[in-house]
Amino acid sequence: MRITMPTAVIEGTQLTVMPFRADAVIGTMSVPTLVQLVPSPRREEDTKSLKAASGAVRRHAELRALVQRALKSTQKGKNVGSYAEYIADGVNGELGAGWSTPPITFWHAGPLAALSDELLPGTGLRTLTIAPGTSVVAIDGETQTTAWHELYDDPERFGLTYAELAQVRVPFELYVDLSVADARQIFYDRNVQGVAVAKNLAMSMDQRDFATRLAHRVAEAVKVDIDGRLVPFTKFVNATKRQVGKAEPEVVTLSAMRALVITAVYGKGGLSRSAETVHEDELPLATTAEQVEQHVVPVLARLIAEHAAQFLSRSALTAPAVLAGLGIAVHHTTPWADPSNAMSANELDRLLAGIRWEREARYWDGVAAKAGASGRLNFSGGVKDSGGRVADALLYPGTEAGRRIRGQ
Residues with Cβ within 8 Å of 151's Cβ and at least 6 positions away in sequence, in order, are 31, 84, 87, 88, 158, 160, 165
A 10 A CB-CB count for 362 gives: 12
The angle that helices 180-188 and 55-67 make with each other, rounded to 10 degrees, is: 50
How far is C-alpha 161 from the chain's CA centre? Answer: 28
Distance separating alpha carbons of residues 144 and 84, to the nearest angstrom: 8
Instruction: Read off the pTM.
Output: 0.71
Asked if 408 and 362 touch (Cβ cutoff 8 Å), the reply is no
Q: What confidence score (pLDDT) does residue 248 get?
A: 85
What's the pLDDT tens digit per position in 112-165?
999 999 999 989 999 999 998 889 999 999 999 999 999 999 999 999 999 999
Which residues fall within 8 angstroms of residue 321, CB to CB, at 6 or more apart?
368, 379, 381, 382, 383, 385, 386, 387, 390
205-214 per-position pLDDT tens digit: 777 889 999 9
CA-to-CA distance for 255 and 237, rounded, in angstroms?
9
Is residue 307 predicted with pLDDT exceeding 80? yes
Percentage of the chain beyond pLDDT 90 is 62
Evaluate if residue 328 carries a pLDDT over 90.
yes
pLDDT in tens, 29-45: 999 999 999 998 888 88
Phi and psi torsions of 321, nearest 5°: -65, -35
Mean pLDDT of all residues belonging to the chain: 89
Q: Give me the pLDDT at residue 10, please.
A: 76
- Section 173-199 average pLDDT: 86
For 156, other C-beta atoms within 10 Å of its C-beta total: 8
The pLDDT of residue 208: 82
Distance CA 346, CA 75 (A): 48
| Residue 301 confidence (pLDDT) | 95
DSSP category for residue 367: T
- State the Cα–Cα distance between residues 381 and 321, nearest whole angstrom: 8
Counting other chains too, the contacts that 182-185 makes at CB distance below 8 Å and 24 or more residues apart are: 183/66, 183/67, 183/107, 183/109, 183/137, 183/139, 184/66, 184/67
Query: Which band of pLDDT confidence, cut at 50, 70 and 90, is reported for residue 100?
Result: very high
Please report which confidence band the pLDDT of residue 184 belongs to, taking 50, 70 and 90 as the band edges.
Answer: very high
Q: State the Cα–Cα distance between residues 148 and 29, nearest whole angstrom.
A: 12
Q: State how far Cα 77 lies from the chain centre.
A: 18
> How confident is the model over 398-402, as a mean pLDDT?
93
- DSSP characters for 53-97? S-HHHHHHHHHHHHH----TTSHHHHHHHHHHHHHHHHHTTTTTT
Residue 204: the pLDDT is: 67
Mean pLDDT confidence for 383-400: 91
- The predicted structure's pLDDT at residue 201: 67
Percent of the chain beyond pLDDT 70?
96
- Give how far the C-alpha of residue 47 lies from the chain's centroid of Cα atoms, to the nearest Å: 34
* Beta strand 252-253 pairing with 169-176: unpaired
255-293 residue pLDDT tens:
899 999 999 999 999 998 888 888 888 999 889 999 999
Q: What is the pLDDT of residue 375?
A: 67
- Checking if the pLDDT of 199 tops 70, the result is no
pLDDT digits (tens, 9 = 90+) for 289-301: 999 999 999 999 9
- Residue 227 has a pLDDT of 87
- Whether the CB-CB separation of 136 and 104 falls below 8 Å is answered with no
Q: CA 20, 21, 22 angle in degrees (round to 5)?
A: 135
| Per-residue pLDDT, 101 | 94
Quick check: 211 and 219 in contact, CB under 8 A? no
* List of residues 6+ apart from 187 with CB closer than 8 A: 67, 68, 139, 140
Give the torsion through C-alpha atoms of 396, 397, 401, 403, to 10 deg.
Answer: -170
Other Cβ atoms within 10 Å of 270 Cβ, number: 24
| Neighbouring C-beta atoms of residue 335, cutoff 10 Å | 11
- 8 or 225, higher pLDDT: 225
- How many Cα neighbours within 13 Å face the side chain of 91? 25
Secondary structure of residue 205 in the 3-state scheme: helix
Which residue, 217, 226, 311, is CA-closest to 264?
A: 217
Residue 338, pLDDT score: 92
Q: Is the pLDDT of residue 217 over 90?
A: yes
Average pLDDT over residues 379-388: 81
Residue 101 corresponds to which amino acid?
Answer: T
Band of residue 240 on the pLDDT scale cut at 50, 70, 90: confident
Q: Helix, strand or coil for residue 217?
A: helix
Pairing of strands 13-21, 114-115: unpaired
